């Protein structure tokens, strides 16, 4: 016969074990919150769709993208496995008539597009409409002899294409091109002093890379406007960039940590990560679920955001990995 005290002890041990399980499973379970705006922007989605169609339709020739289609290694690997090859300027002469070349969302300088068309291959222009509009704006300002201050990243595909369009505009009008690239307030002050020792010309404009930091652009604009009162300021940052940065600000107020998902070579993803670090105690930039830092699995509320080149399935896999940890 079981003694009463053994039965009572067993009952309480069982009760405490069940209580601890309940707290671990339900009270300490992680809450995952996605940013309201994240992942593929319209321009990248258009370029990806263009490449998809090209791979489906061209069965006789090679399909290329001029430069990496998007700044995301996982997505690029998927396209590579389907037969997409990356083309650069040095290899344009290798393109054949039966081939197809996709121009990525960042766009290209006019001379590159003309060189591709001369090969006789099918050229599909996947340039983001907002980037294309910026190319035209800069070309028009250059034709009219304006000094263009441009906020952006040196050697970024979009910046190279826009500067190329401005150069062509200046050449067509027989004008000297003044295209001044700045990426910080310090750059702006330095370039101003270098350009203007005495008189400041009236025809100056400030334009931006579409994925540039909204906050930093406004700071640069304020400094230059103080020095150049007649400066024309065009906030040509893509609305999707505004939305992602604003959504991240809201997200950081609700969570203990933020995972920024995207390519580590992506300008807009790195800007999201920089903002996340400034707003949240725990922030990490990852390209895939396997890179989630260990300390994130112990947080109660984790926020997810993603760069403009991050596919939906990559975001889903990160969320699934976090959810399955409990």
Whole-angstrom distance, CA of residue 13 vs CA of residue 149: 72
Whole-angstrom distance, CA of residue 131 vs CA of residue 137: 10
Largest CA distance in the chain: 107
User: One of 20, 57, 111, 158 is an active-site residue; which one?
Assistant: 158
Has 287 been annotated as catalytic?
Answer: no
Q: What is the Cα 139 distance to its own chain's centre?
A: 24
Instruction: Tell me which residue of 84, 135, 93 sits closest to 116, measured CA to CA.
Output: 93
What is the Rg, in whole angstroms, of the alpha carbon atoms belonging to the chain?
26
Given a contact cutoff of 8 angstroms between Cβ atoms, the answer to whether 66 and 116 are in contact is yes
DSSP string, 181-196: EE-SHHHHHHHHHHH-
The alpha helices in the chain, defined as continuous H runs, are 4-22, 42-57, 73-81, 110-118, 129-143, 157-172, 185-195, 214-227, 239-252, 267-279, 312-323
Catalytic sites, residue numbers: 158
């Amino acid at each position: 016969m079981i003694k009463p005290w053994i039965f009572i002890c067993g009952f309480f041990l069982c009760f405490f074990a069940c209580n601890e399980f309940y707290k671990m499973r339900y009270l300490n379970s992680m809450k995952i919150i996605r940013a309201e705006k994240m992942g593929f922007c319209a321009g990248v989605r258009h370029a990806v769709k263009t490449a998809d169609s090209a791979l489906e339709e061209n069965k006789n020739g090679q399909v290329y993208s001029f430069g990496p289609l998007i700044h995301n290694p996982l997505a690029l690997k998927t396209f590579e496995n389907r037969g997409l090859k990356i083309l650069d300027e040095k290899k344009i002469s290798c393109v054949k008539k039966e081939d197809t070349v996709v121009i990525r969302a960042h766009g290209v300088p006019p001379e590159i597009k003309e060189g591709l068309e001369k090969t006789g291959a099918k050229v599909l222009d996947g340039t983001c409409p907002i980037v294309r509009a910026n190319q035209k704006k800069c070309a028009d300002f250059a034709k009219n002899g304006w000094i263009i201050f441009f906020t952006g990243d040196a050697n970024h595909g979009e910046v190279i294409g826009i500067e190329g369009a401005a150069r062509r505009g200046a050449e067509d009008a027989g004008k000297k091109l003044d295209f001044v690239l700045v990426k910080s307030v310090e750059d702006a002050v330095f370039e101003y002093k270098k350009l203007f020792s005495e008189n400041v010309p009236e025809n100056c404009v400030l334009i931006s890379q579409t994925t540039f930091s909204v906050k930093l652009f406004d700071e640069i604009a304020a400094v230059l406007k103080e020095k150049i009162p007649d400066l024309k300021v065009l906030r040509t940052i893509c609305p999707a960039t505004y939305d992602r940065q604003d959504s991240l600000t809201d997200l950081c107020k609700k969570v203990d940590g933020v995972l920024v998902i995207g390519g580590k070579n992506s300008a807009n993803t790195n800007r999201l990560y920089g903002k996340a670090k400034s707003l949240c105690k725990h922030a990490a930039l990852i390209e895939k679920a396997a890179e989630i830092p260990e300390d994130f699995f112990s947080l109660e509320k984790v926020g997810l955001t993603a760069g403009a080149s991050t596919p939906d399935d990559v975001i889903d896999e990160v969320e699934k990995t976090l959810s399955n940890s409990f």
